[in-house]
Amino acid sequence: MVLVDKINNQPPAPRRYLSRQALLGVSVFFTLNMTGCTNPIIEQEPEMYTTSGSLAPYSQSDFNQYIEQTTQWLDETRVFHGAGYDAEMKAVSPYRLKPSHPNGQGVLLVHGLGDSPYSFIDIAPVLAEQGYLVHVMLLPGHGSRPADLMLPKENDWQEAVANQVTLLKRDVEEVWLAGFSTGTNLVTSYAAQNPEAVNGLVLFSPAFSPDDVIVRFAGTASVFVDWVNVAKEQNYTRYDSLAMHGAALYYQTTTQVKQDLQQYQLEVPALLMVTENDELIDTEAVYSLFRTEFVNPNSRLVWYGEKSYPDARVIKRSMDLPKQSIESGSHISVLFREDNPLYGERGLMRQCGGAQEGEVYTVDCVGMPTLTYTAWGLLKEDRISARLSWNPYFDTMMERVIKFMKTANQNSE
């Protein structure tokens, strides 16, 4: 596991792959990253790697105003990828889904570091179909250009989430919070501090604890270098490059959420979806926190993998699915349907590669024959594989999510 993987959700190219064996000290870490000062990718497209100079405003008193002002900011600051203005703006802009038959409840969806509202493109409609008003926000520093992750201050993300909860509560009687990766840290901290304000949590790939200890040095490193990694920006739904300051902000959310859980414990019910072979997260640490700090008896953890745990609240779903050529899940695989046009089985954003001498290499997925699907860190030297980026249990997962949200605050499930 490497820092670029941990935060960026993208497979590292060999030149920027930092193995544990290479981590001889913080000085080595600085030296490796300072080589990015003359990166040819930056020279080819400098605007992408220069800050816009502003963050989108996030303190609006009305969600429609929030959408309007954020969209205007994106129009003015985004460096486009060439996929088409409408497609790119739709992927990264905040939005609202109104149910045909409202049930009086709402859900706020919060994406991860470097990501965008597209993370919930398959999840949000299911919630709206079940009567929930769905708000999908854009975290400050996202959606425009990767350099804008140098701009948020320590509390911008937390304050933005808190304001979105306030806006949602103006439209519905009861509020649920849901998040992916870094977003789970933010909503869990909010719920731990304000249990009376929310009905419960739905957490996709909770990022409470990074798998690589090097991330803890990101704050110090950001004084000396701007980037964890610089990559050519090809995925218009998220950043391929990662600013060091963004990595530092992510790590702050991990320390904050663990402090909040230990101080308050989590009284509200929560449903966690965790992939055993998540390349980015220490999943054993996530389970440990769930066991000790998620004290509501109706909380559940869905474990996508082969391990078994004594906690009766853990539900196991095997990811050894040879008929579908699936060997394991990944950090992002919980989010998307099999037919998602970007991340599905034949999606345009599939990530393919292999392993050689301990390093990952990438290949173009287009035209590849049937592949094995696995976590990025489990690629093998003798074959080409694809990172599993879709959920073979998506429909049953969402059925469980809906059942949980309807019953979790009753005396029994």
Q: In this model, does residue 356 exceed pLDDT 70?
A: no
For the segment 369-374, the average pLDDT, to the nearest whole number, is 78
DSSP classification of residue 56? -
In a domain, 33, yes or no: yes
Q: Measured between alpha carbons, how far is 254 from 216 in angstroms, rounded to an integer?
A: 10
**Under a CB-based contact definition with an 8 Å cutoff, are residues 90 and 75 in contact?**
no
pLDDT in tens, 45-66: 999 999 999 999 999 999 999 9
Structure tokens at 241: 């490059």
Q: Tell me whether residue 353 is in a domain.
A: no
User: Number of structural domains, the chain?
Assistant: 1
Point out which residues pair with 317 in neighbouring strands. Answer: 304
* Range(s) of the domain holding residue 119: 3-10+25-322+393-407
Tell me, yes or no, whether 163 lies in a domain.
Answer: yes
Angle made by CA atoms 165, 167, 169, in degrees to the nearest 5: 70
Place of tokens 């094995």: 372
Summarize pLDDT for 255-266 with one digit per residue, the tens.
999 999 999 999
pLDDT 10s digits, 111-138? 999 999 999 999 999 999 999 999 999 9
Is the pTM higher than 0.85? yes
Q: What integer best gives the mean pLDDT of the chain?
A: 89
Residue 180 inside a domain? The answer is yes
Mean pLDDT is highest, among 7-16, 27-36, 193-202, for: 193-202
Torsion of CA 97, 102, 106, 111, to 10 degrees: -30
Closest by Cα among 62, 65, 127, 64 to 100: 127
In a domain, 206, yes or no: yes
Q: What is the chain's Cα-based Rg?
A: 20
Residue 211 lies in a domain: yes
Mean pLDDT of 14-35: 40
* pLDDT for 13: 38
Largest CA distance in the chain: 60
Token output for 116:
């965008």
- Please give the share of the chain, as a percent, with pLDDT higher than 90: 77
DSSP 100: S
Q: Is residue 250 part of a domain?
A: yes
Nearest to 136 by CA among 187, 87, 79: 187
Buried b (16+ CB within 10 A) or exposed e, 152-186: beeebbbebbbbbbebbeebbebbbbbbbbbbbbb
Q: At what angle do helices 283-293 and 244-264 cross, to 10 degrees?
A: 30
Q: What is the mean pLDDT of residues 289-303?
A: 98
Burial (CB count <10 Å: 0-12, 13-18, 19+), residue 373: buried
pLDDT band for 214, please (50, 70, 90 cuts): confident
Give the pLDDT of residue 23: 35
Residue with tokens 């690629």: 379
- In a domain? residue 220: yes
Give the C-alpha separation, 334 to 158, whole Å.
Answer: 24
SS3 for 413?
Answer: coil
Beta strand spans in 81-153 (E): 95-97, 105-110, 133-136
Average pLDDT in the 279-301 region?
97
Which CATH number goes with the domain that contains 115? 3.40.50.1820
What digits encode the pLDDT tens for the residues 143-201? 999 999 999 998 999 999 999 999 999 999 999 999 999 999 999 999 999 999 999 99
| Region 393-397 average pLDDT | 98
Cα(406)–Cα(167) distance, integer angstroms: 22
Beta-bridge partners for 270? 201
Torsion of CA 211, 217, 218, 224, to 10 degrees: -150
